[in-house]
């Protein structure tokens, strides 16, 4: 009897130890789903009118004061005209816009990171933006071929807390990895950026030169590093579930919609509150500024519940 | 103004976009169809453009004079923002003999309105146009539709009115927006601005926020303009131009 009990006890202890070891190991695995995270879902939607209506005036004002955006634009001298276009058009609506380049150019102001490798350069840019964040809590990363409507970005993140980790944009999947495409713009909350800058120190999880075996694009590298910190890519959508971050030009999206929804082309296309388009030429960007910020039918009132005033500079510049 | 070969490729998209906002829309053609189109009993082609216009206005005068106060002629590659047209016309009296559009200078002493950008006749202007052809004061002396119409307007003492906004910015445009809006270094007038009556401005000052028309706009671009005008917008943005006060 005693020996039976003994082996039973041994079995229990072995089993218990085995389970302990397993759970110990699994908690170190980077692919574990952090089920305790508040928002481990894959879509982030803009607030609905009802939600906004329920906010008190003072709360609304608090949110408005907080939702200021720092734009991080990665440029190269070979795309000088795009750089100039971004500077002259949408980047003016950022509360702060900094251009980071791979090499200096006398023609335009940018921070020369003196770094040829795309991923290493992005890391430096993000670290610099974090170190100089001041009181800005939202970060928007783009290329000069991206066109962004910053007011709509603010609308998307208005009710989201930047001390929570948010990593939003056009969420794409590459094998098992979900990442946000750089070309259509990446949105990072302060907390996400903070965690990222911290994991930069870890050469094991987030190497500076990337893994030699397979060269991932810098937006995928970003996703891998963020994953280690428990931050996952989420698709930015309007209240109807339409994607707000577009990888194509307006023309291209409309053209697609003409084939897919011939009787309902415009409604079946892109969101009214779209945040980004990609691939527009500098001339097209100038036309889009007119189309977005000026051209409208007399008498239409959208009854927006609040006003996003552009930074002071915009009022000083001539149209 | 359209034709049998353009119904599917052009007129259909106009019907799905801006034409819905007219109080009344008529598709003028050489063949009657269920589109619906009106048969003007005129052949197609650039040489017949003025005949087509004459017959179109005669048809309207005969059947639809009381259906409207203002009569817009547009092509099947024009995009029109009807609300902004209403607004531009609101300060004029339709019983006065006048017409509006993009004013061109040459050939006619009082100038004429660009055909491509679209033009609008007041009710009185339409009556005088019809009268002119009835009495022989106006004739088909040329097939250049916009210029010839301008001659008739001048003969019948119809005034070309100013369609620009309170800040002097143009509302009717004979070319697509990218011809005008892109910033340029100061330069002599490019060919497409040579005829302009009012000194043209290149770059963002070219065009009114309350633009009325753009031309050479085909299928995809029509929907793009529809999206930009009526849908895509910056949330919570205060427009800098307020048309009801001068800058």
pLDDT of amino acid B246:
57
Query: Chain B residue with minimal CA distance to A90?
Result: B234
pLDDT of amino acid A210:
62
Assess contact for B125 and B68: CB atoms under 8 A.
no
DSSP annotation of B158 reads P
State the smallest CA–CA distance between residue B171 and chain A in angstroms: 11
At residue B189, the 3 state secondary structure works out as coil
Residue A254 touches chain B, beta carbons under 8 Å = yes
Assess contact for A276 and A185: CB atoms under 8 A.
yes
Q: Residue B28 pairs with which residues in a beta bridge?
A: B38
**What is chain B's mean pLDDT, rounded?**
95
Q: Quote the CA–CA distance of A177 and A142 in Å, as a whole number.
A: 20
Gap between the terminal Cα atoms of chain A: 94
The arithmetic mean of pLDDT across residues A44-69, rounded, is: 84
pLDDT of amino acid A27:
46
Chain A positions touching B170 (Cβ under 8 A) are none
The arithmetic mean of pLDDT across residues A47-52, rounded, is: 82
Q: Cite the beta strand spans of B116-156 per DSSP E.
A: 119-122
Q: Quote the CA–CA distance of B85 and B228 in Å, as a whole number.
A: 17
Query: Could you give the maximum distance between any two Cα atoms of chain A, in Å?
Result: 95
Q: In a mutagenesis test of the B interface, which of A248, A266, A309 is the best target, namely the one with the most B β-carbons within 10 Å?
A: A266
A108-112, B53-57, B73-77: least confidently modelled range: A108-112
pLDDT of amino acid A316:
40
C-alpha dist (Å) from residue A266 to A253, A258, B16, B118:
10, 8, 10, 24
* Residue the block writes with tokens 């991080």: A72
DSSP annotation of B9 reads I
pLDDT of amino acid A22:
58
| Strand A186-189, strand A138-142: pairing | antiparallel
The arithmetic mean of pLDDT across residues B47-65, rounded, is: 96
Chain A positions touching B211 (Cβ under 8 A) are 295
pLDDT of amino acid A205:
87
Find how far residue A28's CA is from the centre of its chain. 27
Q: List the alpha helices (DSSP H) in A132-243.
A: 150-157, 190-199, 218-228
pLDDT of amino acid A3:
52
Q: Quote the CA–CA distance of B24 and B77 in Å, as a whole number.
A: 18
Which value, in Å, is the radius of gyration of the alpha carbons in chain A?
Answer: 23
Q: To the nearest whole percent, how much of chain A has pLDDT over 90?
A: 57
C-alpha dist (Å) from residue B227 to A13, A297, B17:
68, 12, 10
Chain A positions touching B207 (Cβ under 8 A) are 290
DSSP annotation of B78 reads E
pLDDT of amino acid A42:
81
ipTM for the complex? 0.94
Which value, in Å, is the radius of gyration of the alpha carbons in chain B?
Answer: 18
The arithmetic mean of pLDDT across residues B121-145, rounded, is: 96
Chain B positions touching A251 (Cβ under 8 A) are 220-221, 224
> What angle do the packed helices A218-228 and A118-131 form, to 10 degrees?
50
At residue B79, the 3 state secondary structure works out as strand
Stretch (H or E) spanning B178: helix B178-181
Chain A positions touching B233 (Cβ under 8 A) are 272-273, 292, 296, 302
pLDDT of amino acid A105:
80
The arithmetic mean of pLDDT across residues B76-95, rounded, is: 97
pLDDT at A235 over 50: yes
pLDDT at A59 over 90: no
Domains, chain A, in order of start with CATH, read 43-294 (3.90.550.50)
Find how far residue B175's CA is from the centre of its chain. 12
pLDDT at A4 over 80: no
Assess contact for B211 and B171: CB atoms under 8 A.
yes
A256: confidence class by pLDDT, cuts 50, 70, 90? very high
A9-13, B82-86, B90-94: least confidently modelled range: A9-13
pLDDT of amino acid A41:
55
Neighbours of B21 (CB within 10 A): 15
Query: For residue range B189-231, what is the model confidence (pLDDT) as tens digits?
Result: 999 999 999 999 999 999 999 999 999 999 999 999 999 999 9
* Tokens matching residue B158: 């119809």
Q: To the nearest whole percent, how much of chain B has pLDDT over 90?
A: 93
A32: confidence class by pLDDT, cuts 50, 70, 90? very low
pLDDT, greater one: B86 or A31: B86
B70 torsion bin: left (phi>0), alpha (psi -120 to 50), beta (else): beta
Nearest to A242 by CA among A310, A152, A309: A152
Nearest to A273 among B207, B228, B235 (CB): B235
pLDDT of amino acid B187:
94
Nearest to B69 by CA among B112, B127, B111: B127
* Chain A residues 213-252 within an 8 A CB cutoff of chain B: 250-251
The arithmetic mean of pLDDT across residues B8-24, rounded, is: 96
DSSP letters, A50-112, are HHHHTS-HHHHHHHHHH--EEEEEEE-GGGHHHHHHHHHTGGGGSSEEEEEESS--SSS--EE
Nearest to A273 by CA among A311, A243, A303: A243
| Strand A171-174, strand B28-29: pairing | unpaired
Q: Quote the CA–CA distance of B234 and A151 in Å, as a whole number.
A: 5
Q: Quote the CA–CA distance of B204 and B231 in Å, as a whole number.
A: 21
pLDDT at A313 over 70: no
State the smallest CA–CA distance between residue A19 and chain B in angstroms: 53
pLDDT at B138 over 70: yes
A33: confidence class by pLDDT, cuts 50, 70, 90? very low
Q: List the alpha helices (DSSP H) in chain B.
A: 12-16, 49-63, 82-89, 123-135, 145-155, 178-181, 219-230
State the smallest CA–CA distance between residue B168 and chain A in angstroms: 14
Contact A287 B220 (CB under 8 A): no
pLDDT, greater one: B16 or A13: B16
State the smallest CA–CA distance between residue A88 and chain B in angstroms: 10
Query: Is the link from the previous residue into B36 a cis peptide, with omega within 30 of 0?
Result: yes
Query: Could you give the maximum distance between any two Cα atoms of chain B, in Å?
Result: 57
The arithmetic mean of pLDDT across residues B7-25, rounded, is: 96
Q: Quote the CA–CA distance of A219 and A238 in Å, as a whole number.
A: 23
DSSP annotation of B190 reads P
pLDDT of amino acid A6:
66
Query: Chain A residue with minimal CA distance to B88?
Result: A298
Assess contact for A45 and A238: CB atoms under 8 A.
yes
Query: For residue range A161-174, what is the model confidence (pLDDT) as tens digits?
Result: 999 999 999 999 99
Nearest to A266 among B210, B227, B235 (CB): B227
The arithmetic mean of pLDDT across residues A88-97, rounded, is: 95
Residue A290 touches chain B, beta carbons under 8 Å = yes
B236 torsion bin: left (phi>0), alpha (psi -120 to 50), beta (else): left
State the smallest CA–CA distance between residue B244 and chain A in angstroms: 11
B167-197: buried (b, 16+ CB within 10 Å) or exposed (e) per residue?
A: eebbbbbbbbbebbbbeeeeeeeeeebebbb
Neighbours of B134 (CB within 10 A): 10
Residue B22 touches chain A, beta carbons under 8 Å = no
Residue B225 touches chain A, beta carbons under 8 Å = yes
Q: Residue B196 pairs with which residues in a beta bridge?
A: B104
Residue A7 touches chain B, beta carbons under 8 Å = no
Nearest to A85 by CA among A138, A148, A155: A148
* Tokens matching residue A61: 């004002």
pLDDT at A38 over 50: no
């Amino acid at each position: 009897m005693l020996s039976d009990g003994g082996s039973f006890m041994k079995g229990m202890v072995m089993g218990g130890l085995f389970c302990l070891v397993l759970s110990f190991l699994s908690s170190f695995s980077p692919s574990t789903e952090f089920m305790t995270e508040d928002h481990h879902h894959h879509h982030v939607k803009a607030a609905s009118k009802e939600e906004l209506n329920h906010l008190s005036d003072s709360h609304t004002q608090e949110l408005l004061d907080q939702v200021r955006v720092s734009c991080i634009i990665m440029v190269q001298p070979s795309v000088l005209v795009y750089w100039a276009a971004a500077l002259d058009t949408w980047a003016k609506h950022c509360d702060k816009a900094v251009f980071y380049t791979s090499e200096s150019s006398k023609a335009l102001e940018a921070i020369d990171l003196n770094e040829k490798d795309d991923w290493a350069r992005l890391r430096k840019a993000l670290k610099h933006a974090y170190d100089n964040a001041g009181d800005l809590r939202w970060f928007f990363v783009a290329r000069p071929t991206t066109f962004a409507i910053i007011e709509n970005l603010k609308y998307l993140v208005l009710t989201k807390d930047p001390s929570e980790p948010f990593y939003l944009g056009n969420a794409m999947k590459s094998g098992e990895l979900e990442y946000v495409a750089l070309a259509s713009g990446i949105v990072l909350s302060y907390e996400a950026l903070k965690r990222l800058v911290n994991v930069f120190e870890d050469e094991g999880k987030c190497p500076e030169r990337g893994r030699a075996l397979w060269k991932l694009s810098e937006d995928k590298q970003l996703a891998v590093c963020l994953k280690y910190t428990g931050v996952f890519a989420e698709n930015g959508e309007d209240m109807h579930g339409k994607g707000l971050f577009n990888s194509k030009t307006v023309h291209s999206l409309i053209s697609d919609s003409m084939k897919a929804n011939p009787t309902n082309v415009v409604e079946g296309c892109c969101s009214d509150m779209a945040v980004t388009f990609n691939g527009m030429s500098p001339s097209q960007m100038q036309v889009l500024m007119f189309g977005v910020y000026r051209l409208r039918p007399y008498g239409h009132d959208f009854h927006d519940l609040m006003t996003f005033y552009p930074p002071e500079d915009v009022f000083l510049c001539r149209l | 103004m359209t034709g049998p070969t353009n119904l599917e490729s052009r007129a259909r998209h106009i019907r799905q976009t801006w034409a819905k906002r007219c109080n009344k829309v008529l598709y003028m053609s050489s063949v009657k169809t269920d589109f619906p189109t009106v048969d003007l009993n005129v052949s197609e082609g650039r040489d017949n453009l003025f005949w087509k216009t004459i017959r179109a206005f005669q048809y309207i005068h005969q059947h639809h004079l009381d259906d409207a106060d203002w009569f817009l002629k547009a092509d099947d590659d024009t995009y029109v923002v009807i609300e902004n047209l209403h607004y531009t016309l609101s300060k004029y009296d339709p019983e006065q003999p006048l017409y509006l559009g993009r004013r061109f200078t040459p050939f006619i002493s009082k100038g004429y309105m660009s055909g491509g950008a679209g033009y609008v006749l007041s009710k009185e202007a339409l009556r005088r146009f019809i009268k002119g052809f009835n009495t022989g004061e106006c004739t088909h002396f040329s097939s250049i539709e916009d210029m010839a119409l301008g001659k008739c307007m001048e003969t019948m003492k119809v005034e070309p009115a100013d369609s620009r906004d309170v800040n002097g910015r143009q509302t009717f445009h004979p070319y697509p927006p990218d011809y005008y809006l892109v910033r340029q270094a100061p330069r002599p007038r490019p060919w497409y601005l040579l005829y302009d009556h009012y000194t043209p401005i290149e770059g963002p000052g070219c065009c009114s926020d309350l633009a009325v028309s753009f031309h050479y706009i085909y299928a995809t671009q029509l929907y793009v303009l529809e999206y930009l005008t009526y849908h895509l917008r910056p949330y919570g943005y205060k427009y800098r131009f307020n048309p009801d006060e001068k800058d």
